[in-house]
Structure 1
Amino acid sequence: KPGVKLPVCHELSTGAFEPITVLEAVVKQTGIYASSRKGRLSVFWGDQVFIPSASFEYKPTHHADIMCTLLGDTAPTAEEWVEKGLDKYGVIAVSKGEEKNAAQVEKVDHATAVEMLKVLGDIGQVGPSLGSFSVSAALLHTLCDEYAAEISAKQGKFDTDPHFWMPLTLPQADYVKLMSQKGVPEKESVAHHIRMAKMKENFPLDGMGLFGAVDVGSNGCWWDYGLVKLYFANNMKFTDREDPNADLLRRFFSVTSSQMKSSLGSEATVDEKSCIFASSIKSGSISNSVVASVNANEAQIDGAIVVNCTAKKIVAGKNCILYNLVDDSDEGIVASPGDIMVSVMDESGEMMKLNSKHSICGGKAWKQVLEDNSMSFEAVHKKNQNSNVTAIEEKRRQIFKKVSDSFS
């Protein structure tokens, strides 16, 4: 997911303009926290970008701190808990005390949360977790030592929320109860909690707390690209001229005009909402769409996203996503409303087209061979997981240019 290109371009060191990847956007956004986290390891989601409304400059007070959106200045009531949907998220609670210690619970009702969070004493603030976190060098070394056997054997899998933060901040009985909801046997949960409790007991805090929260503010922006529907919805915000959130999106990606670094022929018409970046289109009609790094003699695009595609003719209807397609046929690329069409290239330059629909969840269809596809998404992933991505990208550029030049 982090390597997925977004339909907006940035300038490379070579002077060329190409679509920015989600990972590059994440690095750009998260860099603002660097000065506050010297000597710490920061971990961020690679498929989403958030812009905090709270200050990003702070002095770490805990060996581990997790980002969250703290809601209000007091703990929510049972009614507010339901109203804000806190029973559907991993939730961070912060104590009222000066130390501001925190704990995490996951997808529980208000009464259960209050009972489990008694370990904090009086609760000051509560809010959904963003999942991103940082840890001190001391805690990182301790975790590496504790799990040295698993790391050496390259076996096993742990997730930070259920396997680190929850057992470190919750009593054993509460932890076991939460893990049972995930289908984890009691014996396994008890053993893991005992292991983490022992590590915690032997870990020197040296004047810092163990687990705290970093508030990103309740008025920030959050753009998730982890699902096709979210990728489409959040990228279509580039065309929204009324939502302040969309204004921030354009500012973040340095979009100063609806048409940037592009060449449009006299027979090409574009409406006021569409955004076109680093593209060359000679004729056609583009409306309510976002187009980046596209080369075509003719384009008929309406309500779609087209990224890194070249063809003599491109036709895309509402809710379409065309991605990384290279076509040298006279017919060009033709997509019906709701079509998702993606090209996957290997190191030899051989391309495979994958088809899906806006209405299909790729996760649920991961093992299925969808209509007009020769392989499942899972099989394609396995085939390409050890490929040299840099070499493939360079090969793609060469083929893209060769095909584009052939009909330019």
Structure 2
Amino acid sequence: MDPAVVRAGGVASVKITGAPGDLPVLVRASVGTLGTPVRETDGWRVSWTAPKTTAPLVGVFTVADATWPELAFATAVARIPAKQAVKVDVPAGSKSVLSVGETKIGPVAATGTSATFDVDVDPQARTGTLDITRADGTTESRGVILATGTAALAWIPGPASFAGQSTAILRLAAVGADGGMLVATAPRVTSTAGTVRDLRLEGQLWRVELALPPAGGAFTVAADFAGAKAELKLNSAPLTPVRVTAGALPAEGGDVEIKAPTPAALEVREGKGTPKIIGPETVVRLVPAGDRVSVVAHPVVVPSALSPRRIAVWSDVPVMAADGVATAGITVAVLDAAGAPLKDAEVAIRLVVGDGAIASTARTDAHGLAHLIYTASKTPGPAGIRLDVGTIWTEFPIFQAAGPTGPALAVPLDPVSAAWRDATTWTTVYREGKA
């Protein structure tokens, strides 16, 4: 940190090295205000403005590499000294010198039975030595407490959104008023939803195992130690099927209303309409472009800003006809380590088996999903689709059958893709008499 010691309201430049990933570092501070991390040739730099305070404080920084936040993280302590008038009891008529480290203040003559020293109190030097010379020439030395200070807490940055997970592992840095790590006594940790299963010391950090709330949604985890507090706002979403209800599409004209319980995302695939949240439901009134309308409903998951770890991919049909015109809707979710999807992730796509047709690129939407259409070839058998996101990739097979009497093979999905598929509901409503 430059400068190494910052006064109240001052600004320091914090240098961060050893974060090898391509994504920006994640930084938190227990006090003050952080700027946006800026990439440098040998790491990252972020500005920090210390709080305006009249008492000496310590602050704790927590840093994680967004590429591997569960593996690459660190802490650092900032000192914020403050000038204070320190009043001590002394004998009447005496003179006193206060020593704080290598600094001597005084001599100061007693005013009545006290003496007041103007001291630049550093939170890491909270005591001094008072040397008293009485009026009769005798001397006395004793220790003086300059400031009691407060502890500081900060959560290690990591996933803020969890999808299809039952447990989250969180880490907390706790620093005493003198800047030393608090390891002897555990902080108090609570959550507005879910359950704190375990709290234990891991190195010099406190490891929290949290059972995520089964119903999902937004919640807050709070830590408290001797008046110091730190909050962490999180989201979770269970991957459970979204039940959709739909009205009828009249034989002539008209539109149709499709509903899903909130929170759920409804995305229009055919027809025209804008989903809106109305009371406890997400509702879309669709105007057909032809003789049918369709939407896809899926759980609402807050997208991630962390690195991709795996690709989930599934189709709306397990088997399709090898007739050169049949189509299958394919959905792709690019997921981080906590199972949350990434928005704006670019996916490269190519066929590695078969000669059907599919787009060569796609980008995940605001919900972290990309929707593709695969057109079957005229050759029966499996088609293989490869999807690449950065350095991770997967291959997705889909079987094309030779007519209704030909052999068909539904290829099983991996558990994560299967969970996303089962939580996604495609609903198509045909005009009466046109199905």
TM-score by length of 2: 0.20
Greater C-alpha radius of gyration:
2
TM-score by length of 1: 0.21
> Which structure has the highest helix share of the two?
1
